[in-house]
Structure 1
Amino acid sequence: MTAVLALLEFAPGTGATTGFRLVDPAQPHLTVTDLAATRGDGIFETARVVDGRVQALEAHLERLAQSARMLELPAPTLPLWRDAINAVAVALAAAGVADGSIKFVLTRGIEGGQVPTGWVLGLPSPDFTRERAEGIRIVLLDRGYRHDVAHTSPWLLAGAKTLSYAVNRAVLREAARRGADDALFVSSDGYLLEGAVSSLLLRVGSRLVTPRVDIGILAGTTQADVFNWAELQGFTTGYELLTPGDLATADAAWLVSSVRHAAPVRAVDGVERPIDAELTARINAALDGRID
């Protein structure tokens, strides 16, 4: 598999980013005592790259900085991260990868040390043509927290994009056990949240709505781009407290994410529902063509 890897360089003591270098991705680069490996103590972002251009890069960098603040990590020097990400994107295109993804990671570094670890990895993207066209089956799963957890328990880091993804992977395995492709979290007090790696979008007539971002979920970069496009098309948009009942009565529903883009929801907990194929195609065409 084609891969491109850049390692970020940091100043000892301050943790400030000082530069980056492209390295051989087939060689070992991560120390086994790095807190990314031993504790999942770090943050990341994943963006789509098309023909050497990274989609929604500024939004992803802004969210990386926000996650760093929440975890009290050294603030990433965004111009250097931007340069490293773009260098990986260009190298990926030069290697013949027209459609790929780029994951950029910042960790607290080696346990007991003072220097963070950071890298940018570019890979070919999976083919999501079927999911975008035919839709996905989802299940609703209780996240175990109230919808106001971000306010009552900020130490749980709800809304930060951290490397602690064991629960997210377990969710997808549980969805598969139930005969579904993906899952949507529900708060313990009955409000829709987000997917394991995606944001929820509903169409209600000429309105597009998504769960509020102050309820312990990640602010979706792709969802925000869909809203920007939809408003230009005459839709109204909104961030609301939504329930499973709202999902059941919506005219259409999607899980949207940076790489898969808009996947229409065709069934919820085994109950079939219609998909809006025409609007799905328009949304994905707009997402395919977006650049910063």
Structure 2
Amino acid sequence: MATRFALMIVPADADEERADFADSFTAVDASAPALSVGELSTQRGDGVFESIGVIDGHPQEIEPHVQRLAHSAALCDLPAPNLEQWRQAVAVAAAECPPGEAVVKLILSRGVEHGPTPTAWATASKAADFSAARTRGIRVVTLDRGYDVGAAERAPWLLLGAKTLSYAVNMAALREAHRRGADDAVFLTSDGYVLEAPTASLILRFGDRFVTPAPSGGILHGTTQLSVYEHLAGLGHDAGYAQIPATDLSRADAAWLVSSVRLAAPITAIDGASLAIDPLTAELNAFLLSPR
């Protein structure tokens, strides 16, 4: 979907304190050239990003997203972002969003090759229509991610816990899922443990307990998953983290993929085995569509 608005950001030092960063933002034509051909985000995917859902002009969960941007930047040895500057950039971009559901994307890259500073920008656009996925559900297949559960701790240079711009593997996984007649995929470690989806977190329900894979072993800690857990806790449900063997997927009573823009998509089949849509799904999406 075409980007409606783009905002170039001149990154400020992380410790710079001021109330207004407006002079560091420049609105640009979203359809016009804005990046140098030497930009490393496009040449190598060398950067990090966040996608923030916007509901009728209200950006959801700004703080978890900017904090995760900072975490990803640290893992990639990028300069620490000035979080107040990014909060203000989100507000500016969200104000340009169309009514209804939209998405603001924050991008921080290493910049031009051999350049002195990183490149940063934000975009705003109308979100895709995910109503069918939220109500009718999605079918998923499991795919081998190609590393064992201890890879992230053993090889931190793989950046498995960072939300980087290098999404070629994630998109290839989605294409493979489609080739197999499914809508999405769930990654497994090579030694048989559940990870996450290419663009979403996984939540499983076993009776009265809700479980998501522990945020280790290269799993990106999902902001939407954290919100869902907070809501479930408020309803009195037991929601926790665990190292989940792939064999446990067949025992789940219900499952969802959750993300900032698609929200909670109930899983109706895993590797061809049917799964019922939990009646709680509608309540979860009503909560995720409310201002947070």
> TM-score category by the smaller chain?
over 0.9
Letter aligned with residue 115 of structure 1:
T
Match 1:138 to one of 126, 137, 140: 140
The verdict on how the C-alpha distance between 1:61 and 1:10 changes in structure 2, with shifts beyond 3 A counting, is closer
The 1-side partners of 2:80 and 2:31 are apart by 29
**TM-score of the superposition, structure 1-length normalised?**
0.94
Could you tell me which residue of structure 2 aligns to residue 217 of structure 1?
219
Could you tell me which residue of structure 1 aligns to residue 237 of structure 2?
235
The 1-side partners of 2:280 and 2:49 are apart by 31
The 2-side partners of 1:153 and 1:290 are apart by 38
Could you tell me which residue of structure 2 aligns to residue 72 of structure 1?
77
Q: How many residues align?
A: 285
The 1-side partners of 2:144 and 2:161 are apart by 17
Letter aligned with residue 45 of structure 1:
E
The 1-side partners of 2:11 and 2:232 are apart by 41
CA-atom RMSD in angstroms: 1.4
The 1-side partners of 2:136 and 2:7 are apart by 36
Could you tell me which residue of structure 2 aligns to residue 9 of structure 1?
10
- Secondary structure (helix, strand or coil) at the match of 1:10 reads coil
The 2-side partners of 1:268 and 1:207 are apart by 19
Identity of aligned residues (%): 48
Deviation at 1:290, TM superposition (A): 3.5
Deviation at 1:98, TM superposition (A): 2.2
Letter aligned with residue 72 of structure 2:
S
Deviation at 1:91, TM superposition (A): 1.6
1:90 aligns with 2:107: no
Q: Which runs of 4+ in 1 moved over 4 A?
A: 14-18
Unaligned runs of 5+ in 1: none
Could you tell me which residue of structure 1 aligns to residue 274 of structure 2?
272
The 1-side partners of 2:11 and 2:68 are apart by 20
Q: Are the aligned partners of 1:44 and 1:106 in contact in 2 as well (CA < 8 Å)?
A: yes
Kindly provide the CA deviation profile for residues 247-274 of structure 1, in whole angstroms up to 9, marking residues without a partner as x. Answer: 1111100111110011111011122221
Could you tell me which residue of structure 2 aligns to residue 281 of structure 1?
282
- Map 1:117-266; keep pairs closer than 5 Å: 117-266=119-268
The 2-side partners of 1:240 and 1:219 are apart by 13
Kindly provide the CA deviation profile for residues 174-197 of structure 1, in whole angstroms up to 9, marking residues without a partner as x. Answer: 000000000000001100000000
The 2-side partners of 1:225 and 1:10 are apart by 29
Could you tell me which residue of structure 2 aligns to residue 54 of structure 1?
59
1:45 aligns with 2:50: yes
Q: Are the aligned partners of 1:132 and 1:263 in contact in 2 as well (CA < 8 Å)?
A: yes
Letter aligned with residue 29 of structure 2:
D
The verdict on how the C-alpha distance between 1:85 and 1:138 changes in structure 2, with shifts beyond 3 A counting, is same
Q: Are the aligned partners of 2:185 and 2:198 in contact in 1 as well (CA < 8 Å)?
A: yes
- Secondary structure (helix, strand or coil) at the match of 1:84 reads helix
Match 1:34 to one of 31, 35, 39: 39
The 1-side partners of 2:11 and 2:145 are apart by 36
- Secondary structure (helix, strand or coil) at the match of 1:202 reads strand
Deviation at 1:16, TM superposition (A): 8.3
- Secondary structure (helix, strand or coil) at the match of 1:82 reads helix
- Map 1:19-30; keep pairs closer than 5 Å: 19-30=24-35
Deviation at 1:26, TM superposition (A): 1.9
Deviation at 1:2, TM superposition (A): 6.0
Q: Are the aligned partners of 1:35 and 1:108 in contact in 2 as well (CA < 8 Å)?
A: yes
Q: Are the aligned partners of 1:171 and 1:196 in contact in 2 as well (CA < 8 Å)?
A: yes
Q: Are the aligned partners of 1:141 and 1:184 in contact in 2 as well (CA < 8 Å)?
A: yes
**TM-score of the superposition, structure 2-length normalised?**
0.94
- Secondary structure (helix, strand or coil) at the match of 2:63 reads helix
Deviation at 1:97, TM superposition (A): 3.0
